[in-house]
Structure formats: C-alpha cells, structure tokens
C-alpha cells in the first residue's frame, strides 16, 4: 500500500534537515503514527478536515518542532476509502509492517468497527476519530480502543436536553451511523426525562436525493400530534434540510431541526434563521488558547475558519501528544493503555478526558441558533448555551 507523508510533516522534516531545528535534539527512534481516513469516497471532506486538524494539533502542541521528548514524529497517512475491508487491512499493515507506535482513524463508523479487532490482535492503541457509532465504545470495544470523537449517544443526549415535550419524527441515513443515532436519540429522551414522544422514523439510502416520499410519511404521522412538532434530520454529508423545507412542513406546524454539520453545508441554511439545534463544535463557541490559535492559523492558511472535523483531528492530536508525553518509555500497547486510562488532554473544546471504564472522551456539546444577522460568509451560528459533561449522562455498556 502507498504511504503518504503529509505536506506539513514533509516541510517540518525538510526544515530539520536544513538546520531549522538542531538534529542533535532528536534522541531515539522516530515516533510513528498511522492516520487512517476515508480520503476518497463519500466522506472525503470529513477526512481532509481530520488530517488538517491532526497535523495542526501536533504542530501547536510541539511548538512547531514535531518532536515529543526529543523524538521526531512521523505521520503515515493511509486512505481506507471508507471501506471496512480496506480499513482493516491498512491498520494491520500499519501495526505489522510500518511498526507504528499507535494509530488514529477512521472517518466511517463501518470501517472503524472493522478495525477494532485488529488493534486487539496486535495489542496496540487505536484512537478513533471521527467515527461516532456507539458500538465502538460499547459491544465492539476492546481495551486498546480509545475515542476522542463524540459518540452517537453524546449527540443524542445533547439534542434531547433541548427537547422537553411534544412530538418528534426522525429522518436518517439507512446505515450504521443513522440507525445508531436514532436508537440513541430514543433512549436519550428517556434518560434526560423529556416528555417528548417519538412518533415516527424514516431511513433513506445514504446517497438519496429525493426525499418526497419519506418526508410526506413523516408529515402525515406528525401533523395531528401534540406541539411542538419537530422533524429531526440526522445526516452525514449534504444535508436534505433545504429539500424538506421546500415541502413546507410549516403547513402542519412542523419545525425542522437539522443538527450540526460542516460549514459549507450550514452556510446554505441562511433562510432558516432562528432554527435551533445541537453541535459538536463551531469555531466561535469555545473560548480557550488552543482554539484561538486554531481559528487564527486556519483562517490565515485556508481563508476560512476551522470546521468540526478539523477540531476533531486536533483533539486526536492532543490525545496522542499527551499519551506519548506521559508514557515516553512505554514498551508495548498495554503500558500505553495504562497511561491513557483516565488521562486528560487539551483540545480546541477545552480539556477532555478518557473515561477509564470505556475510553470514551467526555466532552461538552453546544446548543446553537442559526443567526438572523450574519455579518460574514462564515458567521452562521450563535451560542444558546454550552451543554456541560454533567448534563450528558453517557451510559457505560462495554465489557472489560
């Protein structure tokens, strides 16, 4: 398989060779990290953001040296094309042939789930980012698996915290991500004590472009139910919000709730000013030094602010940096696992920590409202409130 060294890493290594960072500082062998992402296929936009955020995170946390404890960091990027079989093969290659110290990935939940047994087989750490399926830290989990990404249940608990009563219907993609999300949403309503009732759920193909039939079925089920009536959209990739809005759900007193998405999608929602939802990250919400740097540097380099998967990539870099700094002499995956359980680390959202029981990163979420007065191309959301970890009672469901 082809190995790719990212442009930023290559530039750093070139700088070292030219004397920008004294090579005498580098002691011991390189730290090798595999970053597996769906760089081609339906989730390539997410994968690109993850890679950018991961490399910027390492740059920030190492002060630009790309070293930890005097050892140079080598990032090997692999494209699994969001294919579970390929993801499994690439992770085995990374652990076996490339001899990486740990791995990060991947974009698709299906591919991530396929990779989990490989981490167990090789007894090496896998940090899951950005896949969200609950199974990753529940029934499919093993002790070598850590997740910086939020889970479907964390998404669901955040959304449920804003929905106190009324009727809700769901439109989701018909694969692991969508079905996991809706199962979590129904449970989250009960967990948070909401009096909201789930009236109906519809699943459409991930590549669907015509939503007329499922939307009408949802309208028919919701239209006579108690207010507020909400149609919640759970969708990865181009969001069907605009197409559903064209069908005028307000005729039935139904409000659309899109949930968070990447910036290029959310910028098409300007006509939905006042609509509320919940999101994992929006560049203007967290107030901390790391996020300030990410927003400033990303805007300078890419002419736009960082997106939610960029922040996720940087969070994964925070976990990698903290783990390898805490256990610089770890001889195997078991020693690294011991160092990472309960470990706190810096991210653009603030400090996160890996829960010891299932290695899920505990983190806040955000309740947003689409702005009426958008002063610039990317001035899209206003913060209603940050939802703290204490209000997101994530269940522990793995088997140790």
Cross-strand bridge partners of residue 68: 71
Dihedral of alpha carbons 59, 341, 143, 362, sign: negative
Maximum CA pair distance of the chain? 73
Per-residue pLDDT of the chain (400 residues; tens, 9 = 90+): 444 444 454 444 444 333 444 333 345 789 999 999 999 998 999 999 999 999 999 999 999 999 999 999 999 999 999 999 999 999 999 999 999 999 999 999 999 999 999 999 999 999 999 999 999 999 999 999 999 999 999 999 999 998 889 999 999 999 878 888 899 999 999 988 889 999 999 999 988 999 999 999 999 999 999 999 999 998 887 778 889 999 999 999 999 888 789 999 999 888 889 988 899 999 999 999 999 999 999 999 999 999 999 999 999 999 999 999 999 989 999 999 999 999 999 999 999 999 999 999 999 999 999 999 999 999 999 999 999 999 999 999 998 7
What are the boundaries of each domain within the chain? 7-150+286-363, 153-279+366-391
- Same topology for domains 7-150+286-363 and 153-279+366-391, yes or no? yes
Determine the 3-state secondary structure of 163 from DSSP. coil
Region at 307 (left for phi over 0; alpha for psi -120 to 50; beta for the rest): beta
Q: Domain 153-279+366-391: state its class.
A: alpha beta
Omega cis (within 30) before 130 = yes
Residue with tokens 């449970």: 187
Q: Name the architecture of domain 7-150+286-363.
A: 3-Layer(aba) Sandwich (3.40)
Instruction: Identify the pLDDT of residue 175.
Output: 83
How much is the pLDDT for 176?
A: 79
Q: What pLDDT does residue 163 have?
A: 87
Tell me the DSSP string of 28-91. SSPEEEEEEE--SSTTHHHHHHHHHHHHHHHHHHTTTS-EETTEEEEEEEEE-TT-HHHHHHHH
**pLDDT reported for residue 27:** 57
For residue 282, the tally of other CB atoms under 10 A from its CB is: 22
Q: How far is CA 236 from CA 207, 240, 261, 262, in A?
A: 10, 10, 8, 9
Q: Are 94 and 100 in contact (CB under 8 A)?
A: yes
Kindly state the tokens that stand for 294.
């990410």
How far is it, in rounded angstroms, from Cα 54 to Cα 313? 4
């Amino acid at each position: 398989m082809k190995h790719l060294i990212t442009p930023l890493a290559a530039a750093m290594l070139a700088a070292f060779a030219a004397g920008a960072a004294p090579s005498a500082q580098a002691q011991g062998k390189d730290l090798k990290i595999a970053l597996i992402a769906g760089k081609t296929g339906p989730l390539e936009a997410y994968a690109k953001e993850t890679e950018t955020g991961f490399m910027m995170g390492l740059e920030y946390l190492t002060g630009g040296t790309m070293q930890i404890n005097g050892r140079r960091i080598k990032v090997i990027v692999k494209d699994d094309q969001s294919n579970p079989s390929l993801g499994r093969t690439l992770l085995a290659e990374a652990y076996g042939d490339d001899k990486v110290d740990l791995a990060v990935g991947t974009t698709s939940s299906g591919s991530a789930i396929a990779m989990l047994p490989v981490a167990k087989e090789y007894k090496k750490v896998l940090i899951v980012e950005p896949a969200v399926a609950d199974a990753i830290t529940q029934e499919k989990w093993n002790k070598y698996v850590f997740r910086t990404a939020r889970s479907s249940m964390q998404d669901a608990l955040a959304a449920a915290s804003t929905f106190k009563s009324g009727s809700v219907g769901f439109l989701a993609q018909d694969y692991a991500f969508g079905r996991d999300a809706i199962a979590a949403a129904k449970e989250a309503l009960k967990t948070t004590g909401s009096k909201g009732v789930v009236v109906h759920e519809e699943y459409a193909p991930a590549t669907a472009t015509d939503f007329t039939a499922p939307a009408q079925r949802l309208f028919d089920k919701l239209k006579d139910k108690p207010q507020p009536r909400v149609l919640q959209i759970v969708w990865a990739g181009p969001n069907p919000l605009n197409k559903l809005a064209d069908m005028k759900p307000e005729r039935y007193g139904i409000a659309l709730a899109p949930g968070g998405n990447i910036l290029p999608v959310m910028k098409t929602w300007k006509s939905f000013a006042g609509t509320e939802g919940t999101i994992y990250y929006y560049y203007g919400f967290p107030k901390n030094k790391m996020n300030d740097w990410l927003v400033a540097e990303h805007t300078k380099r890419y002419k736009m602010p960082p997106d939610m998967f960029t922040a996720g990539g940087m969070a994964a870099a925070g976990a990698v940096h903290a783990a390898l700094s805490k256990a610089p002499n770890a001889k195997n995956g078991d020693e690294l696992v011991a160092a990472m359980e309960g470990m706190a680390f810096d991210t653009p959202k603030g400090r996160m920590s890996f829960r010891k029981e299932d290695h899920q990163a505990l983190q806040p979420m955000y309740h947003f409202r689409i702005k009426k007065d958008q002063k610039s191309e990317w001035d899209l959301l206003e913060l209603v409130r940050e939802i703290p970890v204490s209000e997101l009672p994530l269940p522990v469901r793995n088997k140790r």
